[in-house]
Amino acid sequence: MKENNYQKTYKQGYKQENKIVTFPIKNIFYDELRKRSILHDLSANSYAKSIVTNFLSTERISVFTKEEREYINQYIRISRGIATNINQIAYKTNIGDYIDTNILINSLHHFEEEFKKFISKDWLWL
């Protein structure tokens, strides 16, 4: 069966723009690659391609799992709360306002407890 002109042109263009990379990896690494690819709903090959192209890309686009996004968002929320309290303390001190130390200590204790809960979680992807 002969290839039509369109197919031939397409294949030539594809081969000029793309290269196929193959390399062996130990079974233990392949198993880990496969497990992680499942989390992203990709085949092991597609996930490996994504890792390599993201690493080499100047845009550095990363794909996070739902759990990773939740972890990052919780960390940001707690950190912002602490930063907001510190800014409020600095502002009140700079304008000579009274700072209720009981409120300050309770607030810092609250964020300390939040961080303790946060870091004690057993995150699957870590």
Output the pLDDT for position 76. Answer: 85
Output the pLDDT for position 85. Answer: 78
Range of the domain at 30: 15-56
Strands (E), 4-126: none
Q: Please tell me whether residues 32 and 78 are part of one structural domain.
A: no
Residue 40 domain-assigned (yes or no):
yes
Q: How many domains does the chain have?
A: 2
Instruction: Please tell me the pTM assigned to this model.
Output: 0.41
Output the pLDDT for position 30. Answer: 93
Q: Please tell me whether residues 20 and 40 are part of one structural domain.
A: yes
Residue 3 domain-assigned (yes or no):
no
Per-position DSSP letters for 40-73, written without gaps between them: TT--HHHHHHHHHHHHH-SS------HHHHHHHH
Residue 23 domain-assigned (yes or no):
yes
Output the pLDDT for position 125. Answer: 47
Q: Please tell me whether residues 22 and 44 are part of one structural domain.
A: yes
Output the pLDDT for position 31. Answer: 94
* pLDDT beneath 70, residues of the chain: 1-3, 58-63, 121-126
Q: Please tell me whether residues 70 and 39 are part of one structural domain.
A: no
Output the pLDDT for position 98. Answer: 78
Output the pLDDT for position 54. Answer: 81
